Structure 1
Amino acid sequence: MTEKLVIIGNGMAPGRMLEHLLDAAPGRYQVTIFNAEPRVNYDRIMLSPVLSGEKDFEEIVIHGDGWYIKHGITLYKGHRIVSIDREAKTVTSDHGVTESYDRLVIATGSVPFIIPVPGKDLPGVLTYRDLDDVNAMLLAAQSRAKAVVIGGGLLGLEAAAGLRMRDMDVTVLHVMPTLMERQLDPTAGYLLQKAVEARGIKVVTKANTKAIVGDGKVQGIELADGTVIPADLVVMAVGIRPSAALAKDAGLEVNRGIVVDAGMRTSDPDIFALGECAEVGGNVYGLVAPLYEMARVAASRLAGDGAAGFVHMDTPTKLKVTGIDLYSLGDFADGDDREEIVLRDAASGIYKRLVLKDNRVIGTVLYGETGDGAWFNDLKKKQTDISEMRDTLIFGQAYQGGSPLDPMAAVAALADDAEICGCNGVCKGKITGAITGKGLTGLDDVRAHTKASASCGSCTGLVEQLLKLTLGDSYNPAAVQPMCSCTTLGHDDVRRLIKAKGLKTIPAIMQELQWKTSCGCAKCRPALNYYLVCDWPDEYADDYQSRFINERVHANIQKDGTYSVVPRMWGGMTSSKELRAIADVVDKFAIPAVKVTGGQRIDMLGIRKQDLPAVWADLGKAGFVSGQAYAKGLRTVKTCVGTDWCRFGTQDSTGLGIRIEKFMWGSWTPAKVKMAVSGCPRNCAEATCKDVGVICVDSGYEIHFAGAAGLDIKGTEVLGLVRSEDEALEVIVALTQMYREQARYLERIYKWAKRIGIAEIKRQVLDDLEKRKAYYERFVFSQKFAQVDPWSERVSGKDKHEFQPLAAVGFAQAAE
């Protein structure tokens, strides 16, 4: 019999619990969730990159709307539970919705601590806990004014770094002598302060806030010593408290948090609690790893495993500020019963400290070089006697046992149960087992299947080493290979930093990202030009000096120096008027060869360069636009005749193909894109070897993608079945936009899909309706600035694709 499970809260912990529960006991529970926030579940760890501009909210969503629909879960967004009736076994929201339960899970998280000083309620005083806080800070950051962050802990420093990257003048106030004093010793705190200040953030320690001042809004902060610091925005990040009031009002046992046993049960056997609101074994937790362990235990208990229990483990602390590497774990306080080993390298900004007790590691502080954190964590967890490696311990795992090991040997020496990803509790054996068992070949595959490095990302290097160790020479991580000899950065880093730093010109990219050459090369300039066109469609002016000759003259150069011109024929359809116009152009310019292409168009070959403007002018009078047979963009949408003429046709494949092509043409993509629509499973348009294909069936439209029929031969993957033509168009557009935003320049869809993961693409484009709509709308927005009339002199200079057939200077000459 199906039981009713109600969950209060929709954060990371209950989300992970549901993943485990759906795997362990599918169909056992009818699940209802009440979420106080008006949105789906997202990765709160990644709020800092959203604040800094390194990620968008859509990129940190864990479970989109489609996931809840797929699993039959009812999600009430923006519903705060105001009461729990334990006798009636019901909960009631502030919107008046009452729901009964057989089992109840409370996951209300935590609330930020507000310093009780005058002015704390002034407009402009914010906390930093959820997306609403981030959105409020982003709105304030548009003024480019002054911000003060109260609190020099993890959240405070991440908020300060994000606001600084939004060009605000930022000051951090911290009441203690050094930053992050709960996680770092004074030396590491000093180094951290230097690194923070090097980013243009002012830091004031021993700063005791007396009042927040302002007339109707925040204008400054007054310190206890009388100093007044001007501020237009104040962010309080001084700590959190478990949100346990609801449980207390219901009569549950509450101490600091909601008291639970090792099985996550409260004082009421039908009610569980987990996450930041729960207190287990006298401890409350704020880091994600123990919260995920609570989720695992609660799911096991709900699935009927009475033996699952929570065991306390120390969790490493890591700061999510780009370019600052620190790692802290365990007990590193001074004491007569312990000793320490310290390594300082002032020139390199490296500091390492190990705290030992009875020849066992009990605490670790690493700054500047954190690669051995997992190994030190493993030594601590297993209480390994380190007496025989005492003299070399501080140098890390690579230096144990005599001569130094290379990094790969050091990773190989890690035990299978050594923790690699602290955020998600993933050990080495789980990662290598997934790589081998599931045939994983890249970092994104590992993230999708194990969640290792999918949260804060600080363990990415270790995961990549495990890939190399497991796959050997077959592992080729393009993401960490420089995009060309002009830079040390890979495509992914360049693209991330373009967004994070708001870089909107090629010179700005080369200056800010420290390009090694003055103006780039034939590999990097086209890539940078594409990234800018895609990321800033309404602001960036397409740089024709960064395009190859084919794109500049809208024709393909041939081996004899002449060109071929391919007018666009929508969906492969034409008319006698168009055919006469082509014939007239062939005769007028004595074009020596005319060929029907595989994409259902006509190619005119052997045109002289000087004739190209006139050829396009004559074709334009007949209504032709470029078929873009040269483009890193949509080239063709091949169709069959479908229901109009074919006795087997199930849908109007020709009409859909024309609709797709007219909707999407002219927008640049990372590599060429070919599509097809077949009117029935006989597949006359060969849709199952295209980048995107549609097979029309009686029940709708089967969307395919990631095929190839060139140097590589590959059949498509099935994305899914949709019922209407409108939905088919939306899915195809969203898929293309996801590819545009995430793929590396010159990376075909099938290679991108292999790297990202088929399941992840399905999740974002088919299952997550909000994310799909967002991709679709961003594509529509970009189309306002896409190609309109590539040959005409009437096109304005703002147009990104103005025809410039004689551009032959600078990079253009090299590209030609």
Structure 2
Amino acid sequence: MTRQKLVVVGAGMASGRMLEHLFETAPDVYDVTLFGAEPRGNYNRIMLSPVLAGEKSFDQIVTHDADWYAGHGVDCRFGETVIAIDRENKTVVTGKGETPYDRLVVATGSAPFVIPIAGKDLPGVRAFRDLDDVEAMVAAAGRPNAKAVVIGGGLLGLEAAAALRLRGMEVVVLHLMGHLMERQLDPAAGFLLQKDLEGRGIRVHCEAQTKAILGEDRAEAVLLDDGTVYPADLVVMAVGIRPEVRIATDSGIHVERGIIVDDRMQSSDPDILAIGECVEHNKMCYGLVAPLYDMAKVAANTLAGKEAAFRPVETATQLKVTGVTLYSAGDFADGEDREEIILRDAAAGVYKRLVLKENRILGAVLYGETSDGGWFFDLLKKGTDVSDMRETLIFGQAFQGGAPLDPTAAVAALPDDAEICGCNGICKGTIVSAISEKGLSNLDGVRAHTKASGSCGTCTGLVEQLLQVTLGESYNPAAVTPMCGCTHLGHSDVRRLIKSKQLKSIPAVMQELEWTSSGGCAKCRPALNYYLVSDWPDEYADDYQSRFINERVHANIQKDGTYSVVPRMWGGMTSSKELRAIADVVDKFDIPAVKCTGGQRIDMLGIRKEDLPAVWADLGKAGFVSGQAYAKGLRTVKTCVGTDWCRFGTQDSTGLGIRIERFMWGSWTPAKVKMAVSGCPRNCSEATCKDVGVICVDSGFEIHFAGAAGLDIKGTEVLGHVGSEDEALEHIVALVQMYREQGHYLERIYKWAKRIGHDEVRRQIMEDADRRKAYYDRFVHSQKFAQVDPWSERVSGKDKHEFKPMADLTREAAE
């Protein structure tokens, strides 16, 4: 059978999901040409907020990469905008010519609404719709003391505001209505949300009527009708979207608010389908992902000649702001014929409200605790009579039917069409079927086959419970996940076999452990290199090319291709001589930005790659060693001034911090390690959120470990108390060596400690003196072979280890 020509206009989430379904159901029917206005393929747009916040990279939100398109024979025309549809000749027109089609799918999405005010076209005014917007906002956030004004207190605006605040900007949110997210939240929940955001340093101004954006060459401020002026280096317009229908309108297809489609996603032209945010179905336009994915499946079936009909369902809302837990669904407006059930817990920041009519849920608003959101939503969609559970309804599913249900029983009771993953529109039945039919046994497998929990991660707990329900006793949440696609072995097995089989080179590991690829991949080679460095410090020669670029060139690569260099300042201390040397380097190499870091060091940003060897040479002459701000190793030991200067200091925290840092720097670890020493319990150096921290007290030193203050926020665990600096050093070194020998590559200390157990760490380090001493001695031994010159790198000679100047190695890497 001759394959038909299918042209898809728009390379977004809806068309991407449609192509997935089409290739599953009718893989040989169409030759597909895909046009996208952006110079890139499909990515998860609802995860742009974490990218803007720096919590995810763009690569992590890509849905279909080049290999996926190539594997399905898709002719990708990214960066090429369709400007017209010639329905008579059945072609689409771009600036490069015409492309014929037999069937056409329009998935042009939506365009941001821009308030028609003076200054709206100034540079520095952005929407928040695509990666280009994100990159522009990140660039604006990089300016010193940068200020942002976000116009719009809806879902998108608040995600942008929170992300920009995490980037360090001063942020003001302007919202026209009386409370935030008024379409999804009632006033009480809106108040809690505003309070939460203001606690994060975001200023919120409701009932704000924007009059103009001020500035000459670029945006400088926002003026309100009442005369209020907010300075702004960046203005983000997030006030709504409109269906992008221009090419459909120009071609004569029936368009009202959106492109009019029937239940099969067909437009007024039987050869043209439309899906996504550009569509209007039964007088409704949709912007949330679940109905768009439903449209995608229906369109794929229509193209494959199968019966299908789009039946829109209620949708729920969750806010993807780290630390904000919010869920809303349905209609929660007041009314004489309605009743409400409210639960408030001010101390815990919990608010729950259900709106009922004739014993059926019409709407639900949950703030602070949302685990029952899916259950309430299912009752709402099905119109379930809740009379019998009226008295306990607000307490959730676990309190229905007598004895409380455990979480596993609760998720087992959910129907197959209950939505589990809102980001990707995945229901319970899809996950359970994938587990059963594809033999999935762990969370990574479910993510790979269904995408559930692969975006914001909110539903991870529910997915794990479904694994347990489906697999029963055979489910092992600690089941081995392969370290990469080159092997079936997990990190722990690889580490164990390297030692037991005495494997001392990457080729030996790959041969003996039966790697499926000849040279490994970008995931396994850095991991293997670290494991070999850690296990055989005096025999294995560090494989320079198996390190990430930052470690290869001893600097952090920046978004524009330049680098930043961070000299080490022991314990955060410096001198006029060192500062003059840094100033001289900044002037000599015209370095555009110099920043004080949170780790009490100085970061020089914007250095050209070709200047790195000379920069290092000058810093080396001044006595500096690398601050290793790029390293899977000891980054910094942050200190307060302790007894030398502080009237509250109980010990010499600065001296101890410097001693630890000088003793341990240059050692590689599975992931970055940050430390701090505070001179008293007032904790000015923030020791209780570090990988390893010390709190000085009158009787000695309290050692902490396994804290986090990044994507995850976690206070430390107490390891124990020691009486002297020597003991503190020994215990800290032994703890880090234990982590070095047992940690998985890129696994932070807090994750490693949780995996093996905090009590086990305490037992080995605090209680077993012989084992502690053995860890300490192995670390000391390994340091004999660690990097001894900050701007040199160890390379292998035939009979011994030699050192090359870093400048030479950098030139080799560049060549």
Matches within 5 A, 1:476-625: 476-477=476-477, 599=503
Letter aligned with residue 426 of structure 1: I
Kept in 1, the 8 Å contact 2:525–2:546? The answer is: no
**1:627-666 CA distances to partner (integer Å, 9 max, x unpaired)?**
xx5xxxxx3323xxxxxxxxxxxxxxxxxxxxxxxxxxxx
Distance 1:804 1:295, change over 3 A: closer
Name the counterpart of 1:430. Answer: 430
Distance 1:478 1:232, change over 3 A: farther
Equivalent in 551, 565, 576 of residue 782 of structure 1:
551
Distance 1:347 1:30, change over 3 A: same
Kept in 2, the 8 Å contact 1:125–1:236? The answer is: yes
1:29 corresponds to 2:46: no
**1:250-303 CA distances to partner (integer Å, 9 max, x unpaired)?**
000100001111111000000000000011111101110000000000000000
Name the counterpart of 1:541. Answer: none
Distance 1:196 1:777, change over 3 A: farther
Q: TM-score normalised to the size of structure 1? A: 0.64
Name the counterpart of 1:198. Answer: 199
Q: Shift in Å at residue 455 of structure 1?
A: 3.2
- Name which structure has the greater RCO, CA cutoff 8 Å, separation 6+: 1
Q: Shift in Å at residue 468 of structure 1?
A: 2.7
1:675 corresponds to 2:510: yes
Letter aligned with residue 137 of structure 2: M
Name the counterpart of 2:158. Answer: 157
Distance 1:179 1:778, change over 3 A: farther
Distance 1:741 1:437, change over 3 A: farther
Letter aligned with residue 734 of structure 1: A
1:329 corresponds to 2:329: yes
Give me the whole-angstrom Cα distance separating, in 1, the residues matched to 2:206 and 2:52: 24
Give me the whole-angstrom Cα distance separating, in 1, the residues matched to 2:42 and 2:276: 14
Name the counterpart of 1:602. Answer: none
Distance 1:739 1:78, change over 3 A: farther
Letter aligned with residue 524 of structure 2: T
Give me the whole-angstrom Cα distance separating, in 1, the residues matched to 2:260 and 2:529: 45
Distance 1:8 1:470, change over 3 A: same
Name the counterpart of 2:522. Answer: 734
Give me the whole-angstrom Cα distance separating, in 1, the residues matched to 2:666 and 2:167: 36
Letter aligned with residue 779 of structure 1: F
Kept in 1, the 8 Å contact 2:104–2:273? The answer is: yes
Q: Shift in Å at residue 340 of structure 1?
A: 1.1
Give me the whole-angstrom Cα distance separating, in 2, the residues matched to 1:476 and 1:416: 23
Q: Shift in Å at residue 741 of structure 1?
A: 13
Q: Shift in Å at residue 198 of structure 1?
A: 1.1
Name the counterpart of 2:175. Answer: 174
Letter aligned with residue 244 of structure 1: V
Query: Secondary structure in 2 aligned to 1:41?
Result: coil
Give me the whole-angstrom Cα distance separating, in 2, the residues matched to 1:77 and 1:179: 37
Q: Shift in Å at residue 387 of structure 1?
A: 0.6
Matches within 5 A, 1:277-426: 277-305=278-306, 307-426=307-426
Distance 1:290 1:740, change over 3 A: farther
Give me the whole-angstrom Cα distance separating, in 2, the residues matched to 1:417 and 1:120: 44
Letter aligned with residue 422 of structure 1: G
Q: Shift in Å at residue 810 of structure 1?
A: 5.1
Distance 1:473 1:336, change over 3 A: same
1:637 corresponds to 2:507: yes
Give me the whole-angstrom Cα distance separating, in 1, the residues matched to 2:262 and 2:376: 30
Distance 1:734 1:26, change over 3 A: same
Give me the whole-angstrom Cα distance separating, in 1, the residues matched to 2:534 and 2:268: 59
Which structure 1 residue ranges, 5 or more long, are not aligned? 480-490, 492-526, 528-547, 549-554, 559-596, 600-628, 630-634, 639-673, 677-685, 694-702, 704-727, 748-775, 787-792
Q: Shift in Å at residue 352 of structure 1?
A: 0.7
Give me the whole-angstrom Cα distance separating, in 2, the residues matched to 1:737 and 1:115: 51
Q: TM-score normalised to the size of structure 2? A: 0.64
Name the counterpart of 1:114. Answer: 114
Query: Secondary structure in 2 aligned to 1:637?
Result: helix
Query: Secondary structure in 2 aligned to 1:212?
Result: strand
Letter aligned with residue 352 of structure 1: K
Letter aligned with residue 553 of structure 2: K
1:237 corresponds to 2:232: no
Give me the whole-angstrom Cα distance separating, in 2, the residues matched to 1:636 and 1:456: 35
Query: Secondary structure in 2 aligned to 1:83?
Result: strand
Cα root mean square deviation, aligned = 3.4
1:811 corresponds to 2:732: yes
Kept in 2, the 8 Å contact 1:733–1:779? The answer is: no
Which structure 2 residue ranges, 5 or more long, are not aligned? 484-491, 536-544, 556-619, 634-664, 669-725, 735-771, 777-815
Name the counterpart of 2:124. Answer: 124
Name the counterpart of 1:6. Answer: 7
Name the counterpart of 2:452. Answer: 452
Kept in 1, the 8 Å contact 2:318–2:328? The answer is: yes
Q: Shift in Å at residue 809 of structure 1?
A: 4.5
1:133 corresponds to 2:133: yes
Give me the whole-angstrom Cα distance separating, in 1, the residues matched to 2:385 and 2:667: 72
Name the counterpart of 1:617. Answer: none
Q: Shift in Å at residue 777 of structure 1?
A: 11
Kept in 2, the 8 Å contact 1:447–1:453? The answer is: yes
Kept in 1, the 8 Å contact 2:46–2:423? The answer is: no
Kept in 2, the 8 Å contact 1:737–1:779? The answer is: no
- Number of residue pairs matched? 555
Give me the whole-angstrom Cα distance separating, in 1, the residues matched to 2:59 and 2:506: 30
Distance 1:298 1:740, change over 3 A: farther
Letter aligned with residue 330 of structure 1: G
Kept in 1, the 8 Å contact 2:213–2:219? The answer is: yes
Q: Shift in Å at residue 737 of structure 1?
A: 6.2
Report the identity percentage: 59
Q: Shift in Å at residue 478 of structure 1?
A: 5.4
Distance 1:333 1:67, change over 3 A: same
